[in-house]
């Protein structure tokens, strides 16, 4: 944006949080475009794949996410948002970690793990078992 006489104020906090001050300074002050590999190294993206593998890679990510307990995923996302905005106290972090461990979802997930079975919310789970 600086090459157009603009200030990238809206993306600045996100850049600082995701790639750190050094890389954010470089990108914001130079306006340079970066390659996909550089974006990966900077922490913008998780993976670089050839174009023909995009959908298969996305499908693999979706399947991986689907392995997580729905409530555990939701709580994890909530905590990630909180942690990214402010540091939680040790007490808050301990409480946030302990409460889900008492849930039915956690009980079922651990039971499946110890039985070497898929968790009940996964596609590999059979309700006949």
Under 8 Å between Cβ of 17 and 80: no
What is the rounded CA–CA span in Å between residue 48 and residue 24? 21
Three-class SS of residue 46?
Answer: coil
| Nearest of 11, 13, 15, 19 to residue 42 by alpha carbon | 19
Rounded Cα distance between 24 and 17, Å, is 9
**Inter-CA distances, 86 with 14, 17, 34, 74, Å:** 14, 12, 30, 19
Q: Which of 1, 32, 37, 104 is catalytic?
A: 1
92 carries an active-site annotation: no
For the annotated catalytic residues, the residue numbers are 1
């Amino acid at each position: 944006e600086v090459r157009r006489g603009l200030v990238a104020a809206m993306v600045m906090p996100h850049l600082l949080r995701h790639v750190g001050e050094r890389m954010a300074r470089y990108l914001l002050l130079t306006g340079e475009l970066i390659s996909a590999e550089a974006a990966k190294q900077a922490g913008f993206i998780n993976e670089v794949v050839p174009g023909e593998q995009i959908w298969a890679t996305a499908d693999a990510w979706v399947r991986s996410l689907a392995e997580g307990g729905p409530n555990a995923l939701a709580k994890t996302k909530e905590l990630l948002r909180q942690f990214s905005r402010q540091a939680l106290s040790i007490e808050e972090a301990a409480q946030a970690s302990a409460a889900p461990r008492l849930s039915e979802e956690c009980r079922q997930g651990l039971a499946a793990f110890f039985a070497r079975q898929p968790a009940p919310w996964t596609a590999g789970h059979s309700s006949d078992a």
